[in-house]
Chains A and B, each alone.
Chain A
Amino acid sequence: MGRCGEYDMVLAGGTEKALIMGVPFATRTFAMACHAPTEGPAGLTFPGVFAMAARLYARNYNLPLDALREKMASVSVKNHRHGALNPLAQFYNKLGDLKVEDVVNSKMVADPLTLLDCCPFSDGASALVLCAAEDARKYTDEPVYILGTGQGSGGPLSKMEDLTKPASRISSAKAAFKRAGLSPKDIDILEVHDCFTIAELIALECMGFFEWGEAADATVEGQTELGGKIPVNMSGGLIGKGHPIGATGASQVYWVVKQMRGEAPKGNQIDPVPEYGMTDTLGGDFGTLCHIILGRSKK
């Protein structure tokens, strides 16, 4: 935008009203992100797609399913802990004290994902104001700069070589790192697309933050918490904050910016403030991805 000279200032964001739809219709609506001719008649739902990925993850890495379910549950426990502290989150003041057993024992949605493995249906909105980097200080004393972006598109599930390693996510993240001239070790904060607990694990591995099959244990060990190797979803993520689908991408950027300005809610703020942050946003049928790398200074 700034480089192309097309526009001086852009408002970007989105909104969603899904709670009002009720569970069956909301489930049907988000199932539209699946491939209609082949996945429609099978009756696949979006939790179903990720449930299939979870089973394959367990098999690929020789994990008994019950063991994986407990590790996935620790994603929900962490993200709800942070969502409960976030006044803008759907679960503000709720579910902040979840235990792994609570997640594992909640209602089964699509084996092996339970209700607490899933993000909620949400109503919400988010917006960002963007301008050329060189003009930013006319408008704010604390601009945050976009250093790199990546994008990937994939086809239907049947055309994916391995659901636990979606190629388009790997290439999208690589493109963002290349453009920014950075690598995973430079990133101080992540907002990843945890539509389901297993999704956070797969995202972390595809983006290169953990080796294949290691994100599960890393989460259990606290490596994705404050003070850990890479804090992930300190806003609460989609699970703790909510997932008004059209608004999520902008919301993830919003929370990285807030962290960089030291304005995140107490208990969620990284200290010292992060220098570099990254968002990971997923869409259609598992294979549509977007990554944005942000920084407190221009490069």
Chain B
Amino acid sequence: MGKGIEMDKEYLVLTYADYEAGINEGKLLGLKCAACKKITCHPMPVCQWCSGRTLERTELSGEGELVTFTVIRIPSEGFEDDVPYIPCLVKTKEGPSVVGRLDYDTERATQELLGKQVKLSGAYTYKGDKFSGGPRTCPVFSVELSND
């Protein structure tokens, strides 16, 4: 790509590597948009709400609501040792949703969990395979007990 073309400009204020390093330190990192003020998380080169390009790093609280989950019984190749495990979708307090894992007893995980308050409690790193682009980390959430 030639000089002067916008694509040359480094838009990646927060890379996936940064995001994953943050999770390993117990932090949920995102981006705050100067135009619409909303938070983008997982990281993108532009604001996920308004496509704005003036972004700065920010840290989210790690708190949110469990939107949905499933318990995987038949895994992808590479995840056999984890079975059964719980991928989940969490809507953060700040607005954006993130995919991660839920730290919960798989045999007790029921519909009642949907809508419960959860908080970032750890990190899960997949060692990687020839298709994953190296090891990858996702957030792990736990259910807040104070709600029951």
Contacts and interface: CB of A to CB of B under 8 A. Distances in A.
User: Does A associate with B in a complex?
Assistant: yes
Contacts of B110: 65
B50 interface: no
B111 A55 contact: yes
A38 B85 contact: no
A111 interface: yes
A51 to B, nearest CB: 4
B136 A37 contact: yes
6 contacts: A23-B74, A27-B77, A28-B129, A52-B89, A108-B71, A158-B99
A110 B73 contact: yes
B42 A40 contact: no
Contact of A55 (B78, B79, B114, B131): B114
B75 to A, nearest CB: 6
B74 A44 contact: no
Given A36-B132, A163-B68, A41 B73 contact: no
Contacts of A41: 124-126, 136-138
A65 B70 CA distance: 12
Interface of B: 16, 42, 48, 67-80, 82, 85, 87-89, 96-101, 109-111, 114-115, 124-126, 129, 131-133, 136-138
B55 to A, nearest CB: 16
A293 to B, nearest CB: 32
B73 A111 contact: yes
Nearest to B91: A158
Given A38-B99, A45-B72, A65-B111, A24 B136 contact: no
B69 A43 contact: no
B126 A40 contact: yes
B1 to A, nearest CB: 23
Contacts, number: 125
B131 A48 contact: no
Interface string A27-54: 1100110011111111111011001110
A204 B82 CA distance: 35
Contacts of A160: 97
A197 to B, nearest CB: 14
Interface majority SS on A: helix, strand, loop or mixed? helix
B75 A25 contact: no
Given A110-B72, A157-B99, 4 more contacts: A24-B80, A42-B124, A48-B70, A51-B70
A59 interface: yes
A109 interface: yes
Nearest to A51: B70
B137 A27 contact: no
Contacts of B82: 43
A111 B110 CA distance: 9
A28 to B, nearest CB: 4
Contact of B109 (A39, A108, A111): A111
Contacts of A98: none
Contacts of A24: 75-77, 80
A59 B73 CA distance: 22
A68 to B, nearest CB: 9
Nearest to A160: B97
Given A37-B42, A43-B79, A28 B16 contact: no
A159 interface: yes
